[in-house]
Structure 1
């Protein structure tokens, strides 16, 4: 492998890495300036795919001259005239050109396959209005080593045409900019010419459709404009206004100078290579520079995502804390729960539902406690409803708070739209999830009292008394131990102490409380994931900015090596 080939291979590897790093560095959040930088990033990716990588792999491929310019400048007529036959459709209706037409010598056909230049454009052999198509036209009137591509108007009234024109111009080794006396000062084409100058793209200008008496004046002014915009070395050709033949061609003499210049480039291998290298190197240099701008934008995206994450986590952390506190501070032992508990514990049946004697405490409470199994179920249902409403209320607050914080930050627009799931409200399935968790918790309490009572009472006692004891344990868990008598829960605690002993009761209450807190925290964790899941779906890699910068530096390193090699060869 020669030194040049080895460098080209290493440059290709560096460019592929830059492409991949840019692909892995999206800019989804509405950070200030992100809209413009998204365009920049996508343009870098597109041009790497459309031009830089294919050209780097095939530097020896024919020179591609893309003919572009303003509406009505005569681009298609110029292309037909340069080729010597009608290969693209000019016309009075605007916009005329819709799909791309690439003309090449038959021997060069293999250079323009689907896997080469502009790979996302489907190759076709016939005229097409499909903007995703690239019509290939073989013509022996063009010399080998030269291809001419007719592009849509850069200032077309149709956005799709403008987009395609920009894509094609970005794939040019040489931009043949066509304008006229009436359009040469238009702003849009000059914006493209500015980009060409910044990237050192080879540019030639054709002043077309200009009255003979105005050619000298307009050409002089146009030359000054080119020089002031960094394009003073760009060749300037004039094509005087003349009659177009029925076949859509100008007289050969009108385009002879332009054609001769293009043919000379095609036939001179060194000159052609110099143009290709100039444009390719300038584009690569610009890409490496612009990649750092994208990297900075990625850093801002990561910082914005972290800020959004903190806002959501703060909202849900606070809601979880409040919900857990409300579940165990006696707040829920009010209203329906308190009423059902008093019915159950205050009628005297609570102890009667448990077979056997429970010591002196039964003697003191037997006349006051007359609850039934059905009443125990009512208490359980009331507890379930109270916990459900409490969790839903705190979840609604958390969702609203997190969403409001995101809206205030102003960067989460894409996260808050495009879905039927309203992040400002609790999830639609939360109510059912709470029901399931509370029922599972109460079942767990039943298992706890069964397990702890196995050595204390007969199996028959446990079969009949576990439900009542589990409800009593549930009320005790919900009570604030620091309160004097939260909702009459002291009766339940007294009974549990009598049945299981003070130490075991304390353990049971702690276990029941820990399980309830765990389940509530789990419910809020699921709700939290609705917000955080939107962030995670962005797939923002915190190291993406570093990867882009590293890849850009590698490209610059390869360019520096190329420069040293070229200097050494000239020495």
Structure 2
């Protein structure tokens, strides 16, 4: 009985000691779980801030490359030099033969076509570069508002501006898009009905006209610019309708705009990847809080007691058997 009592007492002391130790740890584990979850939330917010910054840049370029904003300055001047205004507009209103005779010489002037292409490319590049820089500034401002963000910016100081070579990447994508437009025009002109007219005006000239149509809406312009840019887009639209037809132009413009948006998105996605890499380089165990909370849910006095129940005996078994030997006593 004494042995049983001692065993029970010993187990009781162990249970109480372990229970006290566990109970003292539980608040600390709870705080650790909260801190771990807060850390994950902060990191996820940084990722979301960066994504929103570059999504806004994408949206701004998509908007301003279609609202008439680019039909200003150098682009407008070079286009007007290329086609003129009054005579060309009147030519479009006449039959195709008369139009072809009046403007074929103009559209065969590759120097003028090149000037329009250069102006269009420069306008787009300036817009994309400006929006890329603005996206980096927005992301930096958002990240500096939190300790986690400031820590990542200190580790990655280059995130405060666009990456090295960003402007060159933009230039390559814009030139690639202009080539996309020329290929679309060339493919569309392979139909028998359009082929002669394509040859008359030239792929490059019609490609430039399609670029102008894509920038055609005047929603972003005010005052006198509306009339000038609006007339410019009408010139390009009418010319393309003469060659390809009204329905084909809508499809061409839609596809060309989608190709432009995709190329610009690729540029911004590459910039956004730098921010995601900065986050990924920090070793964050996203599942730590869940594991800690799961462990806490299994800790209880009943669970601790259960560890000892199976091994506790109410009365120790005392052996009273006497060993009998065959050997004679000495």
TM-score range, shorter chain: 0.7 to 0.9
Structure 2 residue 258 is matched with structure 1 residue 514: yes
* Partner deviation per Cα, 1:475-509 (whole Å, 9 max, x = no partner): 21122166544272322111101101111112111
* Partner deviation per Cα, 1:368-421 (whole Å, 9 max, x = no partner): 94661122122222222211111111111111112111112343122112235x
1:303 — aligned with what?
41
Over 3 Å counting, the alpha-carbon distance change for 1:358 and 1:570 in structure 2 is farther
2: CA distance, partners of 1:480 / 1:368: 29
Contact preservation (8 Å) 1:346, 1:368: no
Over 3 Å counting, the alpha-carbon distance change for 1:297 and 1:463 in structure 2 is farther
Flag structure 1 segments of 5+ consecutive residues without an equivalent: 1-269, 352-356
TM-score (norm 2): 0.73
What secondary structure is seen at the aligned counterpart in 1 of 2:159? coil
1: CA distance, partners of 2:270 / 2:20: 48
Instruction: Say which is worse superposed, 556-565 or 501-510, in terms of deviation.
Output: 556-565
1:312 — aligned with what?
50
Over 3 Å counting, the alpha-carbon distance change for 1:299 and 1:367 in structure 2 is closer
TM-score (norm 1): 0.45
2:72 — aligned with what?
334
Structure 2 residue 174 is matched with structure 1 residue 438: yes
1: CA distance, partners of 2:228 / 2:314: 97
Structure 2 residue 217 is matched with structure 1 residue 468: no
* Partner deviation per Cα, 1:261-317 (whole Å, 9 max, x = no partner): xxxxxxxxx9xx99xx89x95898366653332211111112222332333333223
1:532 — aligned with what?
276
Contact preservation (8 Å) 1:327, 1:387: yes
2: CA distance, partners of 1:514 / 1:294: 48
- Structure ranking higher in strand proportion: 1
1:493 — aligned with what?
237
1: CA distance, partners of 2:168 / 2:296: 52
* Residue-pair matches, total: 289
Flag structure 2 segments of 5+ consecutive residues without an equivalent: 1-6, 90-94, 220-225, 316-330
What secondary structure is seen at the aligned counterpart in 1 of 2:144? helix
2: CA distance, partners of 1:411 / 1:425: 19
- Higher RCO structure (Cα 8 Å, ≥6 apart): 2
1: CA distance, partners of 2:124 / 2:250: 22
Instruction: Say which is worse superposed, 375-384 or 284-293, in terms of deviation.
Output: 284-293
2: CA distance, partners of 1:478 / 1:340: 15
- Structure ranking higher in helix proportion: 2
2: CA distance, partners of 1:569 / 1:473: 92
Over 3 Å counting, the alpha-carbon distance change for 1:368 and 1:338 in structure 2 is farther
Contact preservation (8 Å) 2:170, 2:267: yes
Contact preservation (8 Å) 1:347, 1:370: no
CA RMSD of aligned residues (A): 3.7
Q: How does 1:377-526 map to 2 (within 5 A)?
A: 377-420=114-157, 422-455=158-191, 456-458=193-195, 462=199, 465-480=202-217, 483-486=226-229, 488-526=232-270
2: CA distance, partners of 1:560 / 1:466: 86
1:16 — aligned with what?
none
What secondary structure is seen at the aligned counterpart in 2 of 1:328? coil
Over 3 Å counting, the alpha-carbon distance change for 1:393 and 1:283 in structure 2 is farther
Contact preservation (8 Å) 2:69, 2:218: no
Over 3 Å counting, the alpha-carbon distance change for 1:335 and 1:463 in structure 2 is same
